Amino acid sequence: MLTKKLEKEAKAWIRRKKGPDEIIRVVPAVESYDTVTAYHLYPAFEENPDYLGSILFDRNGYWIYDGELLSIGEQEQLAEFIINCSLKM
């Protein structure tokens, strides 16, 4: 269960099976949702970064990826990163 939220932008390093490893910007959503906490994902060092999707957490700490560009392993790495950052707060 996520009791605390990642409140500011963070950077996560992910390992990719296909292609080079990458650093991803994890940005807490500005928009407000009643039942979920959303984090938008972008490549970290691009001037006009592509949107990679979002990871959404419900009140019980379950997450789902909303997007099409990241593999299941990459999604899991980013969700784990967000959980670990939230626990350290």
CB 75 within 8 A of CB 12: no
Kindly state whether residue 5 falls inside one of the protein's structural domains: no
Residue 27 lies inside a defined structural domain of this protein:
yes
Percent of the chain having pLDDT more than 70? 92
> Model pTM?
0.88
| Confidence at residue 4, expressed as pLDDT on a 0 to 100 scale | 64
86: CB partners within 8 A, 6+ apart: 2, 3, 4, 5, 6
Number of H helices, E strands in the chain: 1, 5
Give how many domains the chain has, as a whole number. 1
Q: Is the Cβ–Cβ distance between 21 and 78 less than 8 Å?
A: no
Range of the domain at 30: 10-88
Q: Are 44 and 23 in contact (CB under 8 A)?
A: yes
